[in-house]
C-alpha cells in the first residue's frame, strides 16, 4: 500500500501518548465520581475492571494482528481489511472514519461546555468552530507538530492528576461500598454504559501505524502499557473519590475532582487538556483512515491526496474538518454520541474476531510475534458486542445496519484485492472438519446425494450439458463442470488454456446464479481420462457418483461411450448420456417422463433426478410422469396401483401412468412416440451390453432416440436403493 513505510515515530510518541490522552478524557474528570456515587465503590471498581478487561483483550488482539503483518496506513481498517477482505473492511472502515471525524466535534463541544462553565461570556458555537479550524490547520501542517503539542498536554494532564491525589489528605470519609436505594435510579449497567466510552480510545495510536518506525513492536508495547497505566489511574481515582466525598456529592457534582484537588486550576486545565487532546488524537487518526480507504478504492482516490505534502493526507484533513464543523453547527450530540461509541466498539469487536478466527482456523500464514490464544480474542469480541447492546440497543442496531449497508454496496462494486484474507482459511477449516467427520461416520443409503461430474470437451453436448448440470445443482448435491482438454500438455498449458477454460465456466455459472464447481485437465485421451477422473476427483466421502456426458450422433463414438459406461458402472459410478433435440430443445419445460421397466436401479435414479430437475427454477410448475409399458389390459390396474404405492413410499411427486400395447408386436419406439407428444424431457434406462454386442446396442439406442424429444439415458451404478424405500412405510 502506498504511504505505508514513512517510519517517523516511535512507541512513546506515536502510540503511547495519543492512546493515554484519549483514554484519560472527560470521563475521568467529569463522570468517574458520578459512577462511584451511583454504583458504590465496589460496583465502580467492578465497572472499571470489566471495561478495562474488554479493552485489554482488544489490545491483545490488536497486538497479535499487528505483529503478523506490516501494518500500513489506516491502522485498524488496514488490519481488518487485510484479514476479512475489502468488503468487510470497508463496511467497518467507512463508519469508523465517520466516527473519528465526528469525534473531533464531540470532544471540542465537550471542551467548550467545560470552558463556558467558567467563562460564560463566550459563544459556544463560535468557540467550537474556531477550535475545529485551528485543529484542522494544525493537522494540515503536519502530525509532527501535533504530536509534539501532545507532550505539553500530557504534562498538564499529569499535573492535574497529581493535584487531585494531593488534595484533601486530612478529610477522609467512610466510603460507600455498594449502591444504595437513593441511587437506584442508575443501575449497574447504566453506570457501566456511562463509563465505557472512556476506554474506547485504545486504537488511536494504531491509527498512526503508517507513520511508525516499527509498528510490530510499537503497537503492542504502546497500546498495552497505555491500557495498564490508564486502568490503574481510573481504579485509584475511584478509590480516592470514594474516600474523600460523600455519596450525595459524588452523585450530583460533576466537578467534584476540581473541589478535592489541592490546586483546582490544574484540574480545570486537565479537563480542557484532556478534551483537546482527544480531539487532536481524532484529527490525526481520521484523515489517515480515509487515506487508507482511498488507497483501496473503497472511496474516491482524491480523498487521499496529499496536496503537496510529503507525509500528510491533507485533502482528508479538509474533509474531516468540514464534517466536524457541520456537526458543531447541529448543536446536538445526544443521538450522535452513542452511535460513535457503537462504531468504535463494532470495530474493536471485529479486531477481536480477526485475531480469534485467525488463531482458531490455524492458517500457516498467521505467525504473530505476539501470540494470543484465540479464546481470549473471541472473549474480547463477545465483550465488545455485549457492551454495545448494554450501552444502547437502538444505536447498536443503527450501527449494524449502516455497516451491513456499506458491505452490500461494496459487494456490488466488486472491489478487487491483491492479498489473501482469512475467509478462505475459515472455510478450509470448516470443510476439513466436515470432511473428517464425514469420513468417520458410517454411510447409509438415506444420505445419498448426487455428486455429478459434467464432462465437457466433447464435440457433442456443450451449452445444453451446462443447462442440465445447472438444473441438477439445485438438488442440494454437488456438480462439477469438468473440461477434459485433449492435446499436448506442454503446448496447451503454455497457452494458459486450463485457466481460460475455468474462467469461462465460472463466468457462465456466475451469470446464471449457479452454485457449482469448475475444473479443467489436459489429457491424452478423453475416455481413458474420464475413468481416471471419476476415481480421483473429490475427497473422503465426497467422491463423484454420477457422470454426465453428451450422446454422440456417430456410431463409432457411441461404441466408445458404451464401453466407457461399462467401466464406470464396474466402479459403481452411475452414467448419464444427454441426447439433445436441436429442433425442440427442452420444449416448454412443463412435463418430464420417466420410463420404468419394472423394479430396477435405473428407475430409482431416473425418478430422483427427474424430481431434482422439476424443483429447479426453469422447470417450476412442471409435472413428472412415471410410465410403464405392459402387454395387456388385465395387468393395468395392478400396475397402476403398484406404481402409486411405490411413489407414496419414496415420497416423490409424480403421476403414475401405465401404457398398454395396442398390438402384441407394437414396438417400444412406437409407444414412446405416441405417449411423448406433450413431453419436454424423457428419462430412459440403459442395460449393460455384452462386450461383443456394443455396436448392436448403440444402433438400438439410436433408433429409440429418433422417436423422442431431448432424452437422458441413465445407467445406475448403485448397488442399493438410493430412494431408501425400506426406511419408511
| pLDDT (0 to 100) of residue 444 | 46
**Phi and psi (nearest 5°) for 483?**
-95, 115
| Residue range 547-593, pLDDT digits in tens | 999 998 888 888 999 999 999 999 989 999 999 888 888 888 899 99
Please give the C-alpha separations between residue 55 and each of 51, 78, 176, 284, 624, in angstroms, as whole numbers: 6, 20, 27, 21, 61
Task: Name the packing angle between helices 694-705 and 555-570 (round to 10°).
Answer: 110
- Is the model's pLDDT at 337 over the cut of 70? no
Q: How far is CA 712 from the centre of its chain?
A: 40
Q: Which three cell numbers stand for residue 73?
A: 496506513
- Please, what's the b/e burial string for 420-438 (b: 16 or more CB within 10 A of its CB; e: otherwise)? ebbeebbeebeeeeeeeee
- Is the model's pLDDT at 227 over the cut of 80? yes
The reply to whether the predicted model has a pTM over 0.75 is: no
Best-predicted range by mean pLDDT (207-216, 409-418, 575-584, 714-723):
575-584
| pLDDT (0 to 100) of residue 1 | 42
- Is the model's pLDDT at 333 over the cut of 80? no
| Residue range 638-684, pLDDT digits in tens | 888 888 888 877 777 889 988 888 887 788 888 888 888 889 999 99
| Residue 540 confidence class, pLDDT cut points 50, 70, 90 | low
* Ranges of CATH 3.40.50.12370 domains, the chain: 445-715
| Residue range 81-109, pLDDT digits in tens | 777 677 777 777 888 788 788 888 888 88
| Residue 538 confidence class, pLDDT cut points 50, 70, 90 | confident
- Is the model's pLDDT at 228 over the cut of 60? yes
Pairs from 145-150 (Cβ < 8 Å, separation ≥ 24): 146/280, 146/283, 146/284, 147/9, 147/13, 147/14, 147/17, 147/18, 147/284, 149/280, 150/17, 150/18, 150/21, 150/277, 150/280, 150/281
| pLDDT (0 to 100) of residue 448 | 65
Q: Which three cell numbers stand for residue 548?
A: 454426465
Architecture of domain 445-715: 3-Layer(aba) Sandwich (3.40)
Q: How many residues does the chain have?
A: 729
Mean pLDDT of the chain: 81
- The correct answer on CATH 1.20.1740.10 for the domain covering 11-423 is yes
Contact 244, 39 (CB under 8 A): no
* Ranges of CATH 1.20.1740.10 domains, the chain: 11-423
Q: Measure the CA–CA gap between 644 and 616, rounded to whole angstroms.
A: 24
| Residue 726 confidence class, pLDDT cut points 50, 70, 90 | very low
| Residue range 129-158, pLDDT digits in tens | 999 998 888 888 765 666 667 788 889 989
**Phi and psi (nearest 5°) for 685?**
-80, 155
| Residue 183 confidence class, pLDDT cut points 50, 70, 90 | very low
- Please, what's the b/e burial string for 290-299 (b: 16 or more CB within 10 A of its CB; e: otherwise)? bbbbbbbebb
Q: Which of 337, 342, 384, 381 is nearest to 359 (CA)?
A: 381
Q: Which three cell numbers stand for residue 300?
A: 474516491
| Residue range 30-65, pLDDT digits in tens | 789 889 988 889 999 999 999 999 999 988 988 888
| Residue range 457-478, pLDDT digits in tens | 665 557 788 888 888 876 567 8
- Is the model's pLDDT at 447 over the cut of 60? no
| Residue range 691-723, pLDDT digits in tens | 788 888 888 888 888 888 999 999 988 755 555
Contact 561, 551 (CB under 8 A): yes
Please give the C-alpha separations between residue 684 and each of 356, 610, 708, 713, in angstroms, as whole numbers: 53, 11, 10, 5
Amino acid at each position: 500500500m502506498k504511504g505505508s513505510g514513512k517510519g517517523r515515530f516511535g512507541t512513546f510518541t506515536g502510540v503511547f501518548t495519543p492512546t493515554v490522552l484519549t483514554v484519560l478524557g472527560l470521563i475521568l474528570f467529569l463522570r468517574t465520581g458520578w459512577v462511584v456515587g451511583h454504583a458504590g465503590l465496589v460496583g465502580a471498581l467492578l465497572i472499571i475492571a470489566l471495561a478495562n478487561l474488554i479493552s485489554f483483550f482488544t489490545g491483545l488482539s490488536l497486538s497479535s494482528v499487528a505483529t503478523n503483518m506490516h501494518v500500513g496506513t489506516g491502522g485498524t481498517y488496514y488490519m481488518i481489511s487485510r484479514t476479512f477482505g475489502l468488503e468487510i473492511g470497508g463496511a467497518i472502515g467507512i463508519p469508523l472514519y465517520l466516527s473519528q471525524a465526528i469525534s473531533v466535534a464531540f470532544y471540542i463541544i465537550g471542551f467548550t461546555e467545560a470552558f463556558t462553565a467558567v467563562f460564560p461570556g463566550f459563544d459556544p458555537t463560535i468557540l467550537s468552530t474556531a477550535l475545529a479550524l485551528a485543529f484542522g490547520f494544525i493537522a494540515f501542517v503536519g502530525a509532527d507538530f501535533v504530536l509534539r503539542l501532545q507532550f505539553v498536554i500530557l504534562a498538564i494532564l499529569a499535573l492535574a492528576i497529581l493535584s487531585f491525589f494531593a488534595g484533601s489528605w486530612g478529610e477522609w470519609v467512610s466510603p460507600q461500598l455498594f449502591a444504595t436505594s437513593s441511587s437506584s435510579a442508575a443501575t449497574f449497567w447504566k453506570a457501566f454504559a456511562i463509563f465505557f466510552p472512556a476506554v474506547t480510545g485504545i486504537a488511536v495510536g494504531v491509527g498512526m501505524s503508517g507513520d511508525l518506525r516499527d509498528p510490530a513492536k510499537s503497537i503492542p508495547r504502546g497500546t498495552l502499557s497505555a491500557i495498564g497505566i490508564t486502568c490503574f489511574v481510573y481504579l485509584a481515582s475511584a478509590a480516592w473519590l470514594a474516600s474523600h466525598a460523600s455519596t450525595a456529592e459524588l452523585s450530583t457534582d460533576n466537578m467534584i475532582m476540581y473541589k478535592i484537588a489541592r490546586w483546582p486550576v490544574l484540574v480545570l486545565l486537565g479537563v480542557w487538556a484532556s478534551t483537546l487532546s482527544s480531539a487532536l488524537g481524532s484529527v490525526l487518526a481520521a484523515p489517515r483512515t480515509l487515506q487508507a480507504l482511498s488507497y483501496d478504492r473503497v472511496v474516491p482516490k482524491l480523498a487521499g491526496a496529499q496536496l503537496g505534502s510529503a507525509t500528510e493526507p491533507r485533502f482528508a484533513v479538509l474533509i474531516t474538518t468540514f464534517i466536524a464543523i457541520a456537526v458543531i453547527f447541529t448543536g446536538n450530540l445526544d443521538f450522535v454520541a452513542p452511535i460513535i461509541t457503537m462504531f468504535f466498539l463494532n470495530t474493536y469487536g471485529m479486531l477481536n474476531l480477526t485475531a480469534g478466527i485467525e488463531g482458531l482456523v490455524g492458517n500457516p500464514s498467521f505467525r504473530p510475534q505476539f501470540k494470543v490464544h484465540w479464546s481470549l480474542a473471541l472473549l474480547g469480541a463477545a465483550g465488545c458486542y455485549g457492551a454495545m447492546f448494554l450501552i444502547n440497543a437502538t444505536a447498536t442496531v443503527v450501527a449494524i445496519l449502516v455497516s451491513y449497508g456499506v458491505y452490500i454496496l461494496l459487494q456490488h462494486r466488486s472491489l478487487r484485492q491483491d492479498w489473501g484474507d482469512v475467509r478462505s482459511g475459515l472455510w478450509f477449516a470448516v470443510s476439513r472438519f466436515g470432511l473428517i467427520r464425514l469420513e468417520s461416520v458410517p454411510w447409509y443409503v438415506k444420505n445419498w446425494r448426487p455428486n455429478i461430474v459434467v464432462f465437457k470437451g466433447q464435440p457433442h453436448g456443450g451449452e445444453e450439458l451446462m443447462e442440465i448440470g445447472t438444473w441438477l445443482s439445485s438438488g442440494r448435491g454437488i456438480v462439477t463442470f469438468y473440461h477434459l482438454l485433449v492435446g499436448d500438455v506442454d503446448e496447451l498449458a503454455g497457452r494458459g488454456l486450463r485457466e481460460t477454460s475455468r474462467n469461462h465456466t465460472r463466468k457462465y455459472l456466475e451469470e446464471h446464479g449457479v452454485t457449482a464447481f469448475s475444473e479443467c485437465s489436459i489429457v491424452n485421451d478423453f475416455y481413458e481420462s474420464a475413468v481416471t477422473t471419476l476415481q480421483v476427483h473429490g475427497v473422503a466421502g465426497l467422491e463423484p457418483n454420477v457422470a454426465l456426458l453428451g450422446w454422440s450422433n456417430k456410431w463409432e463414438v457411441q461404441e466408445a461411450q458404451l464401453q466407457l459406461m461399462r467401466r464406470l458402472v464396474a466402479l459403481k459410478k452411475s452414467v448419464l448420456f444427454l441426447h439433445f433435440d436441436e429442433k425442440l430443445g427442452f420444449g416448454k419445460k412443463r412435463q418430464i417422463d420417466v420410463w420404468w421397466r419394472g423394479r430396477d436401479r435405473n428407475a430409482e435414479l431416473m425418478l430422483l433426478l427427474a424430481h431434482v430437475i422439476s424443483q429447479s427454477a426453469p422447470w417450476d410448475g412442471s409435472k413428472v410422469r412415471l410410465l410403464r409399458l405392459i402387454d395387456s389390459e388385465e395387468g393395468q390396474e395392478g400396475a397402476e396401483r403398484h406404481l402409486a404405492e411405490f411413489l407414496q413410499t419414496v415420497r416423490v411427486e409424480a403421476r403414475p401412468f401405465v401404457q398398454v400395447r395396442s398390438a402384441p408386436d407394437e414396438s417400444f419406439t412406437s409407444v414412446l412416440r405416441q405417449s411423448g407428444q406433450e413431453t419436454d424431457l424423457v428419462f430412459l434406462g440403459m442395460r449393460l451390453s455384452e462386450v461383443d454386442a456394443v455396436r448392436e446396442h448403440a444402433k438400438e439406442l439410436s433408433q429409440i432416440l429418433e422417436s423422442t424429444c431431448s432424452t437422458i439415458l441413465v445407467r445406475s451404478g448403485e448397488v442399493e436403493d438410493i430412494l431408501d424405500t425400506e426406511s419408511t412405510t
